[in-house]
């Protein structure tokens, strides 16, 4: 299967959120491996909880499945009780880090400024940051989507160089579509993805923007993934609920465009 846009390889990421113990994570990776073994057409990433990262990375060895952390802290070590550094998750076997998820922003008060520091720390540790941004329902309904996406994009990537953008991914996750069963239509998502690519071109230059993978997240299912990934600027999916079952995640990985 061809990549939807030459030069941008599709990426399917499963965000397990606060689900799966160590044992359950290993079982899920073990169940996924035979189902996605022949998937050369896209990159496959799963993000278990911190406790399961090392074991999941071990279980995924020799398979196309890469591991992501769901968050990290920007300092490398020190008196920061409860925090985990980029170097620590990299050593545990992660190659990616999901940063600035809307649940971190809304439930834990994470600011875009904090996200930019985390992205810089992730890059420094050799991880690929997957920086999430999206608008709430009231922001969309009051016609502020473009403004809030613009602000969140600039602030969350503040201080990153053009070179860093080549090692970064963006996930557009409209807050109203997360866990609601109500995904954005491919048209709605494409509009915001094109907006984000335009912002990336303004800030980092056209060439860096053209290669930037922009993933869509929010109620992605086997039934709607094809329509979303068929769109020009939708380069992959960040999947929550449907990533917790091997069969449904594998069916998403098996998307057809």
By CB under 6 A, how many residues form the interface with ligand 13P? 14
Output the smallest distance, CB 72 to ligand 13P, in A.
Answer: 16
131, 120 Cβ separation under 8 angstroms: no
126 near ligand 13P, judged by CB under 6 A: no
217 near ligand 13P, judged by CB under 6 A: yes
- Which one of 117-125, 159-167, 215-223, 226-234 is the stretch in contact with ligand 13P (CB under 6 A)? 215-223
Active site residue 173: yes
**Catalytic site residue from 103, 110, 135, 173:** 173
The partner residues of 215 in beta bridges, in order of sequence, read: 171, 236
Q: Are strands 214-217 and 11-15 parallel, antiparallel or unpaired?
A: unpaired
Interface residue with ligand 13P, options 228, 238, 250, 252 (CB under 6 A): 238
236 near ligand 13P, judged by CB under 6 A: no
Which residue sits closest to ligand 13P, CB atoms considered?
240
110 near ligand 13P, judged by CB under 6 A: no
Interface residue with ligand 13P, options 33, 218, 231, 236 (CB under 6 A): 218
213 near ligand 13P, judged by CB under 6 A: no
Contact residues for 254 (Cβ-Cβ < 8 A; gap 6+): 39
DSSP the chain: ---SBTTB--EEEEE--S---HHHHHHHHHHHHHHHTT-TTSEEEEE--GGGHHHHHHHHTTSSEEEEES--BSSSSSS-TT--BHHHHHHTT-SEEEES-HHHHHHH---HHHHHHHHHHHHHTT-EEEEEE---HHHHHTT-HHHHHHHHHHHHTTT--HHHHTT-EEEE--GGGTTSS-PPPHHHHHHHHHHHHHHHHHHH-HHHHHH--EEEESS--TTTHHHHHTSTT--EEEESGGGSSHHHHHHHHT---
- Which one of 78-86, 134-142, 144-152, 173-181 is the stretch in contact with ligand 13P (CB under 6 A)? 173-181
95, 120 Cβ separation under 8 angstroms: no
Interface residue with ligand 13P, options 219, 233, 249, 252 (CB under 6 A): 219
For the window 179-208, what string marks contact with ligand 13P as x by the rule CB under 6 A? x-----------------------------
Which residue's CB is nearer to ligand 13P, number 74 or number 216? 216
Interface residue with ligand 13P, options 29, 52, 127, 178 (CB under 6 A): 178
Tokens encoding 103: 């649940």
- Which one of 27-35, 50-58, 185-193, 240-248 is the stretch in contact with ligand 13P (CB under 6 A)? 240-248
Which residue's CB is nearer to ligand 13P, number 125 or number 177? 177
Q: Which residues bind ligand 13P (CB under 6 A)?
A: 15, 101, 173, 178-179, 217-220, 238-242
Please give the positions annotated as active site: 101, 173
């Amino acid at each position: 299967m061809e990549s939807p846009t030459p030069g941008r390889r599709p990426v399917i990421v499963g965000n397990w959120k606060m689900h799966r113990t160590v044992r359950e994570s290993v079982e899920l990776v073990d169940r996924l491996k035979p189902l996605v073994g022949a998937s050369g057409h896209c990159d496959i990433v799963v993000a278990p909880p911190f406790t399961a990262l090392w074991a999941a990375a071990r279980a995924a060895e020799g398979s196309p499945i890469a591991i992501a952390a769901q968050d990290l802290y920007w300092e490398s070590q020190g008196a920061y009780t409860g925090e985990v550094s980029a170097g620590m998750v990299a050593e545990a076997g992660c190659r990616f880090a999901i940063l600035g998820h809307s649940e971190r922003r809304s439930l834990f008060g994470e600011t875009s400024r904090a996200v930019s520091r985390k992205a810089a720390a992730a890059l420094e540790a050799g991880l690929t940051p997957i920086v999430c941004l999206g608008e709430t329902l009231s922001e969309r309904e009051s016609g502020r989507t473009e403004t809030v996406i613009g602000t969140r994009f600039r602030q969350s990537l503040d201080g990153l160089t053009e070179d860093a953008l080549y090692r970064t991914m963006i996930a557009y996750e409209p807050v109203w579509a997360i866990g609601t069963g109500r995904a954005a239509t491919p048209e709605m998502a494409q509009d915001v993805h094109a907006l984000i690519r335009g912002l990336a071109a303004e800030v980092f230059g056209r060439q860096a923007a053209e290669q930037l993978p922009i993933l869509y997240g929010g109620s992605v299912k086997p039934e709607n993934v094809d329509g979303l990934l068929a769109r020009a600027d939708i380069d992959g999916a960040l999947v929550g609920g449907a990533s917790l079952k091997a069969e449904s995640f594998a069916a998403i990985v098996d998307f057809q465009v």
